[in-house]
Amino acid sequence: MSLAEAAGVELRRTGADLTGRCPFHDDDTPSLVISPDKNLWHCLGACQAGASVIDWVMRAEGVSFRHAVELLRDGPPAVPPAGAGPKRSTVRRLASPVERAAADGELLGQVIDYYHRVLEESPDALGYLARRRIDHPEVIETFRLGFADRTLGLRLPDKRRREGAEVRGRLEALGIFRASGHEHLAGSLVIPVMGRGRERGGGLRAEGP
């Protein structure tokens, strides 16, 4: 299990399972059991924690379910070199879909592209389109339909940092974020409204599933 190895856990094969020292408490004996076939883990020691890989990331990084899913979508963390001990690191930064230096039109276009990618990877959103009979691939691609699944904010620089505050302020001015910091179109199907003579849009409208 790459997540355990990335946490510095030395794993040994025990039948169909892998065992090691649990990184979530002071573990003197190998109480962590990982079942690779089921993609599950469980601690038989003091913390008694366990469940799925998502639960591991939530516990290890101290993040929400949605944030943990995004971290996993970006790929597993790097495995430390052999001999490196267990180490708790800060939360990995997710790849930002927007560029700080982009002009407003480009910035809006990057948000459109992000929502479009999210839609293509969301079975629920695609199912909604199928029920509305607008799920033809050419329609989705031509009109750059998207889905705002509340993950855009997770991928922006921290709002307490200068670059994070700046890009969030610009996205608020463009109508992507509310003053509260939440995505304005969260949970909605996003339909770009393209401006004349411009490849990238003049705005977005939403339709709830």
Contacts of 209 (CB under 8 A, 6+ apart): 124, 125, 128, 187, 188, 189
pLDDT in tens, 134-183: 989 999 999 999 999 999 999 998 888 898 899 999 999 999 999 998 99
Dihedral angle at the C-alpha atoms of 75, 192, 173, 105, nearest 10 degrees?
80
Which tokens go with 42?
Answer: 């469980």
Q: Does the predicted model carry a pTM greater than 0.75?
A: no
Sign of CA dihedral 109, 114, 115, 116: positive
Cα–Cα distance between 43 and 13 in angstroms, integer? 16
Strand pairing of 189-193 and 203-207? antiparallel
What's CA 153's distance to the chain center, in Å?
10
Domains for the chain: give ranges and CATH numbers. 2-73 (3.90.580.10), 104-207 (3.90.980.10)
**pLDDT tens string for the chain (209 positions)?**
678 887 888 889 988 999 999 989 898 889 999 998 888 999 998 889 889 999 999 888 888 898 888 888 877 665 544 444 444 445 667 889 999 899 999 999 999 999 999 999 999 999 999 999 998 999 999 999 999 999 999 999 888 889 889 999 999 999 999 999 899 999 999 999 876 544 444 567 666 65
